[in-house]
Structure 1
Protein backbone atom coordinates (compact mmCIF):
# COMPACT_ATOMS: atom_id res chain seq x y z
CA UNK A 1 0.00 0.00 0.00
CA UNK A 2 1.39 3.46 -0.83
CA UNK A 3 2.04 6.05 1.85
CA UNK A 4 1.10 8.87 -0.53
CA UNK A 5 -1.88 8.77 -2.87
CA UNK A 6 -4.22 11.09 -4.78
CA UNK A 7 -7.97 11.29 -4.24
CA UNK A 8 -9.65 8.85 -6.61
CA UNK A 9 -6.70 6.39 -6.54
CA UNK A 10 -7.23 2.78 -5.54
CA UNK A 11 -5.08 1.57 -2.66
CA UNK A 12 -4.49 -2.03 -1.62
CA UNK A 13 -4.52 -2.85 2.08
CA UNK A 14 -2.78 -6.08 3.08
CA UNK A 15 -2.89 -7.98 6.37
CA UNK A 16 -0.75 -11.03 7.18
CA UNK A 17 -0.91 -13.66 9.92
CA UNK A 18 2.35 -15.26 11.03
CA UNK A 19 2.59 -17.47 14.07
CA UNK A 20 6.14 -18.55 14.97
CA UNK A 21 7.18 -17.78 11.36
CA UNK A 22 4.42 -20.06 10.02
CA UNK A 23 2.06 -18.38 7.55
CA UNK A 24 -1.60 -19.11 8.31
CA UNK A 25 -4.31 -19.21 5.64
CA UNK A 26 -8.08 -18.92 6.09
CA UNK A 27 -7.78 -16.26 8.81
CA UNK A 28 -10.51 -13.57 8.71
CA UNK A 29 -9.68 -9.85 8.83
CA UNK A 30 -12.08 -6.92 9.05
CA UNK A 31 -10.87 -3.70 7.40
CA UNK A 32 -11.96 -0.22 8.49
CA UNK A 33 -11.47 3.43 7.49
CA UNK A 34 -11.45 6.11 10.18
CA UNK A 35 -14.14 8.74 9.68
CA UNK A 36 -13.98 11.45 12.33
CA UNK A 37 -13.81 9.57 15.63
CA UNK A 38 -15.53 6.43 14.31
CA UNK A 39 -14.34 3.44 12.31
CA UNK A 40 -16.36 2.60 9.17
CA UNK A 41 -16.17 -0.95 7.78
CA UNK A 42 -14.82 -1.21 4.23
CA UNK A 43 -14.95 -5.00 4.01
CA UNK A 44 -13.63 -8.32 5.26
CA UNK A 45 -11.23 -10.83 3.68
CA UNK A 46 -9.73 -14.20 4.56
CA UNK A 47 -6.04 -14.88 4.14
CA UNK A 48 -5.06 -16.97 1.13
CA UNK A 49 -2.40 -19.65 0.86
CA UNK A 50 0.27 -16.94 1.05
CA UNK A 51 -1.10 -15.84 4.43
CA UNK A 52 -2.18 -12.42 3.15
CA UNK A 53 -5.62 -10.87 3.13
CA UNK A 54 -5.85 -8.05 0.56
CA UNK A 55 -8.62 -5.54 0.03
CA UNK A 56 -8.72 -2.71 -2.51
CA UNK A 57 -10.23 0.62 -1.51
CA UNK A 58 -10.84 3.57 -3.83
CA UNK A 59 -10.22 6.92 -2.18
CA UNK A 60 -13.27 9.16 -2.64
CA UNK A 61 -12.54 12.07 -4.97
CA UNK A 62 -12.91 15.62 -3.75
CA UNK A 63 -12.64 14.69 -0.08
CA UNK A 64 -11.29 17.33 2.29
CA UNK A 65 -8.97 15.13 4.38
CA UNK A 66 -5.20 15.29 3.95
CA UNK A 67 -4.69 11.76 5.32
CA UNK A 68 -6.67 8.57 5.84
CA UNK A 69 -6.18 6.04 8.60
CA UNK A 70 -7.08 2.40 8.04
CA UNK A 71 -7.23 -0.49 10.46
CA UNK A 72 -7.13 -4.25 10.03
CA UNK A 73 -8.57 -6.40 12.81
CA UNK A 74 -7.78 -10.11 13.10
CA UNK A 75 -11.18 -11.55 14.05
CA UNK A 76 -9.92 -14.59 16.01
CA UNK A 77 -7.45 -12.77 18.27
CA UNK A 78 -8.74 -9.19 18.13
CA UNK A 79 -5.24 -7.95 17.25
CA UNK A 80 -5.43 -4.60 15.47
CA UNK A 81 -2.93 -2.84 13.23
CA UNK A 82 -3.34 0.61 11.69
CA UNK A 83 -1.80 2.42 8.73
CA UNK A 84 -2.07 6.03 7.59
CA UNK A 85 -1.92 7.16 3.98
CA UNK A 86 -1.22 10.82 3.18
CA UNK A 87 -3.48 12.08 0.40
CA UNK A 88 -2.57 14.94 -1.90
CA UNK A 89 -5.25 16.77 -3.86
CA UNK A 90 -5.53 15.87 -7.51
CA UNK A 91 -4.66 18.47 -10.13
CA UNK A 92 -7.76 20.19 -11.44
CA UNK A 93 -8.34 21.54 -14.92
CA UNK A 94 -7.99 25.11 -13.63
CA UNK A 95 -4.35 24.58 -12.61
CA UNK A 96 -1.68 26.08 -14.82
CA UNK A 97 0.01 23.84 -17.39
CA UNK A 98 3.34 24.14 -15.57
CA UNK A 99 1.81 22.97 -12.26
CA UNK A 100 1.55 19.46 -13.70
CA UNK A 101 5.24 19.49 -14.67
CA UNK A 102 6.31 20.83 -11.28
CA UNK A 103 4.23 18.16 -9.53
CA UNK A 104 6.38 15.51 -11.23
CA UNK A 105 9.39 16.98 -9.43
CA UNK A 106 7.40 17.32 -6.16
CA UNK A 107 7.78 21.12 -6.18
CA UNK A 108 5.01 22.87 -4.25
CA UNK A 109 2.97 24.99 -6.66
CA UNK A 110 1.05 26.77 -3.91
CA UNK A 111 3.38 29.73 -3.57
CA UNK A 112 5.54 29.54 -6.68
CA UNK A 113 6.41 32.90 -8.11
CA UNK A 114 8.15 34.18 -11.19
CA UNK A 115 11.52 33.94 -9.42
CA UNK A 116 11.24 30.19 -8.90
CA UNK A 117 9.85 29.65 -12.39
CA UNK A 118 12.71 31.66 -13.93
CA UNK A 119 15.29 29.77 -11.86
CA UNK A 120 13.80 26.44 -12.94
CA UNK A 121 13.83 27.53 -16.59
CA UNK A 122 17.47 28.65 -16.40
CA UNK A 123 18.42 25.33 -14.77
CA UNK A 124 16.65 23.28 -17.45
CA UNK A 125 18.20 25.32 -20.28
CA UNK A 126 21.63 24.92 -18.69
CA UNK A 127 21.16 21.16 -18.36
CA UNK A 128 20.12 20.87 -22.01
CA UNK A 129 22.99 23.06 -23.17
CA UNK A 130 25.52 21.07 -21.14
CA UNK A 131 25.20 18.12 -23.52
CA UNK A 132 25.88 20.24 -26.61
CA UNK A 133 29.68 20.50 -27.02
CA UNK A 134 29.73 23.94 -28.69
CA UNK A 135 28.06 25.76 -25.81
CA UNK A 136 29.00 23.44 -22.94
CA UNK A 137 31.13 25.99 -21.03
CA UNK A 138 28.39 28.64 -21.05
CA UNK A 139 25.67 26.08 -20.35
CA UNK A 140 27.47 24.82 -17.26
CA UNK A 141 27.67 28.40 -15.97
CA UNK A 142 23.95 28.81 -16.72
CA UNK A 143 23.21 25.53 -14.95
CA UNK A 144 25.17 26.62 -11.86
CA UNK A 145 23.39 30.00 -11.78
CA UNK A 146 20.00 28.30 -12.15
CA UNK A 147 20.69 25.86 -9.33
CA UNK A 148 21.90 28.70 -7.11
CA UNK A 149 18.73 30.69 -7.84
CA UNK A 150 16.58 27.65 -7.10
CA UNK A 151 18.39 27.16 -3.81
CA UNK A 152 17.98 30.83 -2.89
CA UNK A 153 14.28 30.66 -3.78
CA UNK A 154 13.63 27.90 -1.24
CA UNK A 155 15.67 29.27 1.68
Structure 2
Protein backbone atom coordinates (compact mmCIF):
# COMPACT_ATOMS: atom_id res chain seq x y z
CA UNK A 1 0.00 0.00 0.00
CA UNK A 2 1.50 3.26 -1.11
CA UNK A 3 0.87 5.95 1.52
CA UNK A 4 2.64 9.29 1.66
CA UNK A 5 2.66 11.58 4.70
CA UNK A 6 3.01 15.29 4.06
CA UNK A 7 2.36 18.59 5.76
CA UNK A 8 -1.28 19.63 5.45
CA UNK A 9 -2.11 22.80 3.52
CA UNK A 10 -5.21 24.99 3.61
CA UNK A 11 -6.71 23.21 0.60
CA UNK A 12 -6.73 19.97 2.69
CA UNK A 13 -9.26 21.39 5.19
CA UNK A 14 -12.29 19.94 3.41
CA UNK A 15 -10.74 16.46 3.12
CA UNK A 16 -9.60 16.56 6.77
CA UNK A 17 -13.07 17.51 7.95
CA UNK A 18 -14.67 14.91 5.66
CA UNK A 19 -12.40 12.24 7.21
CA UNK A 20 -12.64 13.10 10.90
CA UNK A 21 -16.32 14.05 11.31
CA UNK A 22 -17.77 10.62 10.44
CA UNK A 23 -15.00 8.79 12.35
CA UNK A 24 -15.62 10.95 15.41
CA UNK A 25 -19.37 10.40 15.14
CA UNK A 26 -18.87 6.64 14.83
CA UNK A 27 -16.16 6.02 17.43
CA UNK A 28 -16.15 8.93 19.87
CA UNK A 29 -19.66 10.38 20.15
CA UNK A 30 -21.41 7.16 21.10
CA UNK A 31 -20.70 7.96 24.75
CA UNK A 32 -21.76 11.63 24.54
CA UNK A 33 -24.93 13.58 25.17
CA UNK A 34 -26.57 14.78 21.93
CA UNK A 35 -25.71 18.44 22.61
CA UNK A 36 -22.05 17.57 23.26
CA UNK A 37 -21.98 15.57 20.02
CA UNK A 38 -23.01 18.65 18.03
CA UNK A 39 -20.38 20.81 19.75
CA UNK A 40 -17.57 18.33 19.08
CA UNK A 41 -18.54 17.65 15.47
CA UNK A 42 -18.95 21.38 14.86
CA UNK A 43 -15.38 21.93 16.06
CA UNK A 44 -14.28 19.75 13.13
CA UNK A 45 -16.04 21.73 10.40
CA UNK A 46 -14.11 22.84 7.34
CA UNK A 47 -14.11 26.41 8.66
CA UNK A 48 -12.68 25.33 11.99
CA UNK A 49 -10.01 23.14 10.39
CA UNK A 50 -9.06 26.16 8.25
CA UNK A 51 -8.83 28.30 11.37
CA UNK A 52 -6.61 25.72 13.10
CA UNK A 53 -4.31 25.62 10.07
CA UNK A 54 -4.11 29.41 9.95
CA UNK A 55 -3.64 29.72 13.73
CA UNK A 56 -0.42 27.74 13.72
CA UNK A 57 -1.62 24.26 14.54
CA UNK A 58 0.62 21.80 12.69
CA UNK A 59 -1.16 19.11 10.69
CA UNK A 60 0.07 16.25 8.55
CA UNK A 61 -2.04 14.13 6.25
CA UNK A 62 -1.59 10.62 4.94
CA UNK A 63 -2.61 10.31 1.30
CA UNK A 64 -3.06 7.20 -0.80
CA UNK A 65 -1.95 6.81 -4.41
CA UNK A 66 -5.15 8.59 -5.56
CA UNK A 67 -4.21 11.55 -3.33
CA UNK A 68 -7.18 10.86 -1.02
CA UNK A 69 -6.63 11.89 2.61
CA UNK A 70 -6.80 8.64 4.61
CA UNK A 71 -5.21 9.82 7.85
CA UNK A 72 -4.50 13.03 9.74
CA UNK A 73 -2.64 14.22 12.81
CA UNK A 74 -2.78 17.74 14.21
CA UNK A 75 -0.86 19.23 17.09
CA UNK A 76 -1.40 22.54 18.90
CA UNK A 77 1.59 24.55 20.12
CA UNK A 78 3.83 21.62 19.17
CA UNK A 79 2.76 19.98 22.43
CA UNK A 80 -0.93 18.99 22.52
CA UNK A 81 -2.01 16.24 20.13
CA UNK A 82 -5.30 17.66 18.91
CA UNK A 83 -6.42 15.27 16.16
CA UNK A 84 -5.30 11.77 15.18
CA UNK A 85 -7.57 9.84 12.82
CA UNK A 86 -7.13 7.06 10.28
CA UNK A 87 -9.76 5.92 7.76
CA UNK A 88 -11.33 2.57 8.70
CA UNK A 89 -9.87 0.92 5.58
CA UNK A 90 -6.33 1.87 6.63
CA UNK A 91 -6.49 1.04 10.35
CA UNK A 92 -4.33 -1.69 11.86
CA UNK A 93 -1.38 -0.99 9.54
CA UNK A 94 0.66 1.32 11.76
CA UNK A 95 -0.50 4.51 10.09
CA UNK A 96 -1.55 6.26 13.31
CA UNK A 97 1.95 5.55 14.67
CA UNK A 98 3.54 7.03 11.53
CA UNK A 99 1.36 10.14 11.78
CA UNK A 100 2.17 10.52 15.48
CA UNK A 101 5.89 10.00 14.85
CA UNK A 102 5.80 12.76 12.22
CA UNK A 103 4.08 15.42 14.38
CA UNK A 104 6.17 14.41 17.41
CA UNK A 105 9.44 14.86 15.48
CA UNK A 106 8.36 18.19 14.00
CA UNK A 107 7.38 19.33 17.52
CA UNK A 108 10.77 18.34 18.92
CA UNK A 109 12.42 20.20 16.02
CA UNK A 110 10.37 23.29 16.97
CA UNK A 111 11.53 23.40 20.58
CA UNK A 112 9.35 20.90 22.41
CA UNK A 113 11.55 19.26 25.05
CA UNK A 114 9.64 15.99 25.15
CA UNK A 115 6.37 16.83 26.95
CA UNK A 116 3.12 16.05 25.12
CA UNK A 117 -0.54 15.95 26.13
CA UNK A 118 -3.66 14.47 24.58
CA UNK A 119 -7.31 14.26 25.60
CA UNK A 120 -8.04 10.71 24.52
CA UNK A 121 -11.44 9.43 23.53
CA UNK A 122 -12.47 6.70 25.94
CA UNK A 123 -12.11 3.99 23.28
CA UNK A 124 -8.75 5.29 21.98
CA UNK A 125 -6.76 5.19 25.22
CA UNK A 126 -5.01 1.96 24.17
CA UNK A 127 -3.58 3.67 21.07
CA UNK A 128 -2.00 6.48 23.09
CA UNK A 129 -0.86 4.03 25.74
CA UNK A 130 1.13 2.20 23.02
CA UNK A 131 2.75 5.53 22.10
CA UNK A 132 3.88 5.92 25.73
CA UNK A 133 1.17 8.25 27.06
CA UNK A 134 -0.08 7.74 30.63
CA UNK A 135 -3.35 8.80 32.27
CA UNK A 136 -3.15 11.87 34.45
CA UNK A 137 -6.70 11.39 35.73
CA UNK A 138 -9.71 9.20 35.08
CA UNK A 139 -12.48 9.72 32.58
CA UNK A 140 -13.52 13.35 32.54
CA UNK A 141 -16.95 14.74 31.66
CA UNK A 142 -16.80 18.30 30.36
CA UNK A 143 -20.29 19.46 29.37
CA UNK A 144 -21.17 15.96 28.17
CA UNK A 145 -17.88 15.36 26.32
CA UNK A 146 -16.02 12.41 27.80
CA UNK A 147 -12.26 12.11 27.54
CA UNK A 148 -9.16 10.89 29.33
CA UNK A 149 -6.35 13.42 29.87
CA UNK A 150 -2.99 11.80 29.15
CA UNK A 151 0.64 12.89 29.11
CA UNK A 152 3.85 11.68 27.53
CA UNK A 153 7.26 12.68 28.88
CA UNK A 154 10.17 11.61 26.72
CA UNK A 155 13.43 10.92 28.48
CA UNK A 156 16.67 12.31 27.10
> Scaled by the length of structure 2, what TM-score is found?
0.21
Report which structure shows greater RCO (CA 8 Å, sep ≥6): 2
> Scaled by the length of structure 1, what TM-score is found?
0.21
- Whose Rg is larger? 1
